[in-house]
Copies of this chain bind each other. A is one copy, B any other.
C-alpha cells in the first residue's frame, strides 16, 4: 500500500479521528478528495469544548461519511487537565505560555488512536489518520513527528493485520492546512477549535493560533462577525508586541 506515515493515502480504506476542529475536518475532506473510503470516530471525553462534536457530525453528514461518537467518561472523572469539565479555568493567550501545559489531557492522543486502530482492524481498514500538525509540538508531546513514528511502530506489532498510522499534515501549520481546505470548499464556519465551548470563540491558545492562520491569508475566520474580527486582530497585534 504505502509506507511513509506522512504521505496522503489514496484509494484506500481508513478510519479518521475527527475532533471537529479545523485540522481534522480538513484532513477528512482531503482524504475523501483522494478517493479513500473513510469512517470517522469522535470522542466525548468531558472536554469543555464538546461543542466540536456537533461540527464533526455535521461535516460527516454533508460528506456522507459514517460517523461514530465514542464516550470516554472516565477521562473526565479520573484524569487531570484544565481542558476537562472537571479541571480548573482555561488559560488565555498564546500556546507558548507555560500555563498552557495545564491543557494537556495525559495520553489523550494515544488513547484515541489505540481505539481507532482496534476499530480499523474490526472493519478491515488499512489506515488510521490523525490530524496532528507542526503547530502542536511546543505544548503537546503526543503531536510530535517522533511520537507518531514510535506509535506507528508499536501499532505494526500490535496485530497480525497491520494498520498504517498516517498523519499527512505533520509538517504543516494551520495556514498550510487552510490552503488545502479552502480550495476543497471546506465550510470552516462548521468547525470548532476553541478550548471553551461557548457561543463564540474565547481567546484560548487554540483560537489565537487559528485566527493567526486566517489572518496570514488575509481572510476572516467565519466564526467571527466583522466587529469581532476587528477586535481579534487588535488582540493579536497586542500579543505580538
Show the binding face of A for B, using Cβ within 8 Å. Answer: 68, 70-71, 73-75, 78-80, 101, 104-111, 113-115, 117-119, 121-122, 141-142, 144, 146-147, 150-151, 153-161
Q: List 26 A-B contacts (CB under 8 A).
A: A70-B74, A70-B78, A71-B74, A75-B118, A78-B122, A79-B119, A79-B122, A104-B160, A105-B118, A106-B119, A107-B114, A107-B118, A107-B121, A109-B158, A110-B114, A110-B158, A111-B114, A111-B115, A111-B118, A141-B160, A142-B159, A144-B157, A146-B157, A147-B158, A150-B157, A153-B154
Smallest CB gap from A143: residue in B: B158
Contacts A79-B122, A119-B79, A122-B79 given; indicate if A110 touches B150 (C-beta within 8 A).
no
Given the complex of chains A and B, what is the CA–CA distance between A77 and B154 in angstroms? 25
Question: A159, B106: Cβ atoms under 8 Å?
Answer: yes
Given the complex of chains A and B, what is the CA–CA distance between A199 and B73 in angstroms? 32
What is the copy number of this chain in the assembly? Answer: 2
Q: Chain A at the B interface: mostly helix, strand, loop or mixed?
A: helix
Question: A147, B141: Cβ atoms under 8 Å?
Answer: no
Given the complex of chains A and B, what is the CA–CA distance between A75 and B144 in angstroms? 28
Question: A154, B157: Cβ atoms under 8 Å?
Answer: no
Across the interface, which residues of B come within 8 angstroms of A146, CB to CB? 157
Question: B74, A78: Cβ atoms under 8 Å?
Answer: no
Question: A117, B110: Cβ atoms under 8 Å?
Answer: yes
Across the interface, which residues of B come within 8 angstroms of A147, CB to CB? 154, 157-158
In the A-B complex, the 9 residue pairs with the smallest Cβ-Cβ separation, listed nearest first, are: A106-B121, A107-B118, A150-B154, A147-B157, A106-B118, A110-B114, A80-B122, A111-B114, A142-B158
Across the interface, which residues of B come within 8 angstroms of A101, CB to CB? 160
Question: B110, A155: Cβ atoms under 8 Å?
Answer: yes
Across the interface, which residues of B come within 8 angstroms of A113, CB to CB? 114
Contacts A150-B154, A154-B150, A159-B107 given; indicate if A114 touches B114 (C-beta within 8 A).
yes
Q: Which of A78, A106, A108, A156 has the most CB of B within 10 A?
A: A106
- Selected from B73, B122, B157, the residue in CB contact (under 8 A) with A106 is B122
Question: A154, B122: Cβ atoms under 8 Å?
Answer: no
